[in-house]
Amino acid sequence: MSSMSHTIERMTVGELQITLGLTALYEGFDDQRIINDDSVSRPILEMTGIFEYFNSTRVQVIGNQEMELLDSLEPHVAEERISKLCSYTDIPAIVLSRSRQAPQYMIDRCRESGIPLFSSASITTMLIANLSRILREYFAPQTNMHGVMLDVKGIGVIITGESSIGKSETALELVTRGNQLISDDRVIVYEVEPGMLIGKAPRVLERMMEIRGLGIVDIMTMYGAGSFRQKKSLSLVIQLVEWTKQIDYDRIGLQTQQMQILNTMVDRIILPVRPGRNTATLIESAALNQKLRRLGINSAEAFIERLSQSISQSEIGEEGTGVDNE
């Protein structure tokens, strides 16, 4: 079984800016500022002067409604509202939608309070949806798995196994066949909701593979943009093991094995490796078979049913050809 270690990853304001392509409205802010809440707020109530229910740990999104409300106020009142908002110095960041330009007093108050201020080209609803999705992923329960993850025929597969068994070499062959690399050596797996696991590469390992004898290779540079994918839902774990005669491996596939990752059960296949077996072809076949299972087609059960029908028909045929000698 693959080794797993639980991790907690938190997003910084700088990472949020890069991920969403936000434009900073002033320079010199702390891009290592940590976001500790996965929820997003619109401070429209606060723009009316009501701060009793304000949650300052959330990223604040200011859209057309908030800006129109500010514009309707007397200039000194609008500035007081923003000054009051920025007095909550634990606000992770403030983001304006629709590429709105912040009034100078808003920029000044944010700079004085150390609150990063950004602008986004997205409309407000889309901005909030993207923020919520990204933050939910970062705050989801996470674990590290040792192995290689690929998108094989549309199925998210993690290949695990002992060191030197050929995981990366097999993954490289799968990439040359048109499948997509997600991560080599270490996979971050997070649970966005019960039953839904997503795998991705640590940022430093994105697109990279380590191949013994070749060293570190950049998959996207070698095989094109289509050879790499940032993340993928996890459906199958394939554990490569050394072939040994002492173990009776499943030859039909009736028994579906599973393993627990975080709080989700994932199908697992133990695949014995020995000279003469094309491991990449077997993994592609396993992925396609997994896709059939999703559609309610179980190849092993279909084979057993077909075999049973054949046996039954043979028995009926033998009974029908019996001769009565009396």
Segment holding 248, helix H or strand E: none
Rg (CA), the chain: 28
Collect all residues with Cβ–Cβ distance below 8 Å to 103 and sequence separation of at least 6.
70, 78
Per the residue annotation, which of 42, 185, 186, 231 is the catalytic one?
185
CA separation for the pair 92, 105 (Å, rounded)? 19
Choice among 84, 146, 186, 231 that is catalytic: 146
- What is the number of helices (H) and of strands (E) in the chain? 10, 18
Binding residues: 168, 210
Residue from 6, 212, 245, 251 carrying the catalytic annotation: 251
Determine phi and psi for 114, rounding to 5 degrees.
Answer: 75, 20
Among candidate residues 33, 58, 109, 167, the one labeled active-site is 167
Q: How many residues does the chain have?
A: 326
Is 212 assigned a catalytic role?
no
* Residue numbering of the annotated binding site for Mg(2+): 168, 210
Instruction: For residue 251, indicate whether it is catalytic.
Output: yes
Per-residue CA distances from 116 to 28, 79, 103, 109, 231 (Å): 9, 18, 15, 10, 28
E-state strands within 140-281: 142-146, 148-152, 155-161, 180-183, 186-193, 196-200, 208-211, 215-218, 231-233, 236-242, 257-261, 264-273
Give me the active site residues, please. 146, 167, 185, 251
